[in-house]
Amino acid sequence: MKKIIIPTMFLVGFLSTTLVGCSQTNGQSSGTASSTPTSTDSSATSSSQDLSGADLVYVNWNLGTADQNNLERQMVAAFNSTYHKNVKIVENVNTGAYEDALTAMAAKDQMPDVFMLTNTTFGLSNQYLADMTSYASADADWAKIPSSVADATKYKDKVYAIPFAIHMMGYFENEELLDSKNLSSLSVSPSWDDFYNVVSTLKQPANKIMGLNIETTLFEWYPAQINANYGWFSFDGSKYNLDSADFATAMNLTKSLRANKMTFDSMTAEERTAMGYDDSVKFWNDGKLGLRWGYTYEIPDMIANSTFDKKFIGVPGKRTPIVGDYLGISPTCKDPALAYQFAKWMSFDPAGIKKRLEIDTNGSLFSSLPLSTDSSVISAYFDAKYNRVPGLEEAFRASNNGVVEGVKIIPGYGKSRWLARAGKNVTITIDGTPTTNPQVGQVIDQCWLGNIAWADYKDGLNAIANQAYQDALSSFQSIYA
């Protein structure tokens, strides 16, 4: 049986209510990398913690422990020192049930003033988010946030979230492997033909090399490359377009890569074993893979675990996929102006970003890209002393036109993309077992795997995806004018 790799970033969170963005909890990382929070305590919060005298109360899953004193905690301390304030961190938050922890705090009238959001739907439907439009509109630095990310904070043209971090998705190139096979390095945002030429030329399992690791994400971002009206997963701002010709093109490309075994993941277990590897990350680290789909927050690990020259090329097309993290400010906050100032410091404030760079002397802790297009910030972040991966700056400079991944910002996305049921009249075979009323994600998987025809299911899946979106909207749209 073939092993199917589905990026855990998209799946893990929905198995525990929702996907959230992310921290590394070893005390050495900034907490701006995207992954699932880890539980630190079985209770919602520490019942004995004294929060009296705080100017603001802050909750995030990326803070580690006081003893670790990671970059995030140092940033909070730097804010307190710079502005002579007393922002207190809520300790021992159960990050394994983060939404439950926030709900429990809200029920006790202890809602934190500033907090990390799992997704905007959670915040809006529970009325946990204050309207920050007046502060953002009056702030010249807000206009310097990459517009694709800033736009994702809005509902009905009002700002309800503060961007906290920005990461890019796309392909990383092993420049040395390409050069050894007389292939030119790909440009940032290459053409599909140039991209495919590298993938096909490096498909040499007999020589224990391959061109590409996985194909499974392509149909989520590629429709937006061929249709400027589309965002992630063909969403156009009001509906999905899974029944469109553009989405069918992306699905067919994904299916073709799989059927023709153009990726490491599409090889059988026996074929991978013959190459000496079962893990595509190890395959990449050992210099055997030409192109690796990945995330910019993975760069420190890539550098630590491999020695060849790398380049970030984004994706074929001109719109690099983006993952955002977002902060919320509670409507119960007594000083929203200060809360906005603090959230800004932790995220898109040029002074705050430069403070992160000052603390992170070797570029290993601050894993987010800068959340500002301010020229002085870009110069500081991409200073030669940090030895940033080639291609990254060019891709970042085009981030205004990026495609923001939908998990945290499109209402009902989890159900539209994965969890909604296809109906009792639908039966498909999964791993040899007939499955009636499968989930949407299971039907989609069987289509790109080539086991069923996309044309037979696209209309029904599109209707289900859009109904899930409308159902999610109905949980809060009447609350907001």
How do residues 32-58 score in pLDDT, each as one tens digit?
A: 544 445 444 434 454 568 999 999 999
Q: What is the pLDDT of residue 199?
A: 98
Q: What is the pLDDT of residue 37?
A: 52
Q: Could you tell me where the DSSP H helices lie in 348-405?
A: 350-359, 375-381, 392-397
Give first-to-last CA distance, the chain, whole Å. Answer: 52
Which among 282, 275, 271, 301 is positioned nearest to 367, based on CA atoms?
301
Q: What is the pLDDT of residue 19?
A: 37
How do residues 305-350 score in pLDDT, each as one tens digit?
A: 999 999 999 999 999 999 999 999 999 999 999 999 999 999 999 9
Average pLDDT of the chain? 91
DSSP 88: E
Identify whether the C-beta of residue 133 lies closer than 8 Å to the C-beta of residue 158. Answer: yes
419 pLDDT tier (thresholds 50, 70, 90):
very high
Q: Which residue has the higher pLDDT, 124 or 4?
A: 124
Q: What is the pLDDT of residue 77?
A: 98
Residue 172 C-alpha from the chain's centroid = 16
Which two structure tokens, joined as six digits, stand for 172? 């990383």
362 pLDDT tier (thresholds 50, 70, 90):
confident
Q: How far apart are CA 240 and CA 247, in angstroms?
A: 10
Residue with tokens 């090889």: 267
Segment 12-31 mean pLDDT: 38
244 pLDDT tier (thresholds 50, 70, 90):
very high
428 has pLDDT over 90: yes
How do residues 363-416 score in pLDDT, each as one tens digit?
A: 889 989 999 999 999 999 999 999 999 999 999 999 999 999 999 999 999 999
What are the counts of helices (DSSP H) followed by strands (DSSP E) for the chain? 21, 13
Q: What is the pLDDT of residue 35?
A: 42
Q: How far apart are CA 169 and CA 337, in angstroms?
A: 33
